Amino acid sequence: MAGEPAQIGPYQIGKRIGQGGMGAVHEAVHETIGRRAAVKFLNESLARNPATLTRFFNEARAVSVVEHPGLVQIYDSGQLPNDGPAYIIMELIRGETLAERLKREKRLPVLQALRLGWQLSDTLAAVHEKDIVHRDIKPANLMIVPDPAATGRERLKILDFGIAKLASGIGAGDTRPGQVMGSPVYMAPEQCRGAAGVDSKADVYATGAVLYHMLAGQPPFDGETFAALVFMHLHEPLIPLTERGVDAPPALIDCVHSLLQKDPKLRPTMRETAEQLEVLLAETERQTSSSAEIPAKTGPASAPRPVVSPIDTARMGGDLVSTLGQSVGQSRITHWPPSRAALGAAAGGALVLALLLVALWPKGTDRAQPVSTPATPQAVHPTVAAAGSEGAKTPEKTRPVADPASVGSSTAAVADSSPTASPSAVTASPKAEKPTPTSKPTENAKPSPAAVKSSASKPRPSPPAKRHPPSSRGTKSLGTKKAFPIIQ
């Protein structure tokens, strides 16, 4: 535009960022505080028409009356001297229109459509409370901008109050009878007949048409011509959302259908719509969060759980805990890690080995117990051999043979000694008779009456003790020699 100024007050006009039928939008910067803004200029040809000029300023008046985060803030408005261009300085917002998102994604998820629908209805409810009707609600006039404080981290803002019907005293422009204003795809039936008598219920119908479009991926009515669209809004029955393949809560579908009633009296108010959508939004968010946690822990219900080995179970301990530990009445399952399991096995093995060593270790009482067996072959075996040759049964024949382990220390000297054993080795047993170094047993020698009497008077030996390894302290090794002499 040739008449666009380089500066308006403290704002320095920058590059053009948009162009429309009514005019152009430029970026601007406040020279003092550095705030960035958008400046909307009205075309000079349209500015000469008083009615058009009045509608242009209606946008600034309508938004200034209502304080809501869903509206674009207005900083200033006016017209330059000498019939210069009319302008509106407003908040600079960056985002995408709902029309652009629908063109890219066709239809929106139910939760996203609910969030945007609730924000739209809540903003329009605040506008209607100031007795203002927008009359041109459509996806192209709805801007989606990032907002961390808003639900879903994005905010829907309503643009273009240029044809808004304002309350008396604000400066509303006159509307001729029969004059149609708005976008025919989203217009209410009564607005198709004329814009003079419309009220807030026209915005309710348009809101329902936008919600229908977000859920179904297409507007409720879509004709090739303006006349066809008007006829559909007036007479054609609405195709239910379920027949469009929409999978949404029944309460939401009923709410959208109620907004699209052809009779304005059957439609709810915008405040009632906002409250109903807010409740549905809270329920849907709760159900969505619950359904998102269950598959993350348990997986699909139809998928069979694989049988895992103990190693796999230890490796998957975290998943099992998260699956079972969160349910009511189930306790947490603790799986030992491999390192702790190996440590426990080593400790158990060491304990078993220690018990075995204690059980097999020779006891002190066995070493100190006196042995009743003969200390030397010279004192015992000739007697037993002579008694056997005569067929006489002596106590020596019925005596049990002691365990070599139990007499290890006392008989070791006997096993290693020859008939010429040293006296020091023979005296290991205190009760044994001291042998004569030169005496040797003979085959036909008869025992003396004193030897037989001594052998018969000896006490019966105790039962054999538990077998233990022979002690090596103070004794000689048995080696390969036999601990007991062979009785012939």
CA dihedral 355, 360, 362, 363 (to 10 degrees): 50
Domain 97-289: assigned CATH number: 1.10.510.10
Same fold, 7-91 and 97-289: no
pLDDT in tens, the chain (488 residues): 456 788 899 999 999 988 877 789 999 999 999 999 999 998 888 888 888 888 888 888 888 888 899 999 999 999 888 878 899 999 998 899 999 999 999 999 999 999 999 999 999 999 999 999 998 999 999 999 999 888 889 999 998 887 777 765 454 445 544 455 668 899 999 998 876 778 999 999 999 999 999 999 999 999 889 999 999 999 999 999 999 999 999 999 999 999 999 999 999 999 999 999 999 999 999 988 777 655 544 555 444 444 433 334 333 333 333 332 333 333 333 445 556 667 777 888 888 888 888 777 766 544 444 445 554 444 444 444 444 444 444 444 444 444 444 444 444 333 344 444 444 444 444 444 444 444 444 444 555 555 545 554 555 555 555 555 555 554 444 444 444 455 54
- Contacts of 46 by beta carbon, 8 Å cutoff, 6+ apart: 22, 23, 52, 53, 56
Q: What are the structural domain ranges in the chain?
A: 7-91, 97-289, 310-361, 373-432+439-455
The C-alpha atoms of residue 228 and residue 274 are separated, in whole angstroms, by: 31
| CA-closest candidate to residue 405, choices 375, 371, 357, 433 | 371
The C-alpha atoms of residue 224 and residue 203 are separated, in whole angstroms, by: 23
| CA-closest candidate to residue 213, choices 113, 118, 305, 295 | 113
Give DSSP secondary structure letters for 128-143. Answer: HHTT-B-----GGGEE
**Is position 136 annotated as part of the catalytic site?**
yes
- Which pLDDT score is estimated for 81? 84
- Which pLDDT score is estimated for 332? 37
Q: What is the DSSP letter of 174?
A: P
| CA-closest candidate to residue 97, choices 72, 73, 122, 62 | 72
Give the total residue count for the chain.
Answer: 488
User: Is the separation of the CB atoms in 274 and 125 below 8 Å?
Assistant: yes
3-state DSSP call for residue 59?
A: helix
Q: What is the DSSP letter of 242?
A: G
448 is written with which tokens? 């003396």
Fold (topology level) of 7-91? Phosphorylase Kinase; domain 1 (3.30.200)
β pairing state of 86-91 and 96-97:
unpaired
Q: How many CB atoms lie within 10 A of CB 282?
A: 13
- Which pLDDT score is estimated for 8? 92
The C-alpha atoms of residue 413 and residue 376 are separated, in whole angstroms, by: 9
Give DSSP secondary structure letters for 255-295. Answer: HHHHHT-SSGGGSPPHHHHHHHHHHHHHHHHHHHHHHHHHH
User: Is the separation of the CB atoms in 78 and 185 below 8 Å?
Assistant: no
The C-alpha atoms of residue 102 and residue 279 are separated, in whole angstroms, by: 25
- Contacts of 376 by beta carbon, 8 Å cutoff, 6+ apart: 414, 417, 421, 426, 432, 433, 435
Read off the pLDDT of residues 334-356 as tens digits, 9 standing for 90 and up.
445 556 667 777 888 888 888 88
- Which pLDDT score is estimated for 274? 96
| CA-closest candidate to residue 90, choices 100, 80, 75 | 75
Helix (H) or strand (E) holding 154: strand 154-158
The C-alpha atoms of residue 90 and residue 159 are separated, in whole angstroms, by: 11
Give DSSP secondary structure letters for 313-346. Answer: HHHTHHHHHHHHTTSTT-PPP----HHHHHHHHH
Read off the pLDDT of residues 174-191 as tens digits, 9 standing for 90 and up.
554 445 566 889 999 999
Catalytic residue of the set 136, 254, 312, 366: 136
- Which pLDDT score is estimated for 292? 61
- Which pLDDT score is estimated for 461? 58
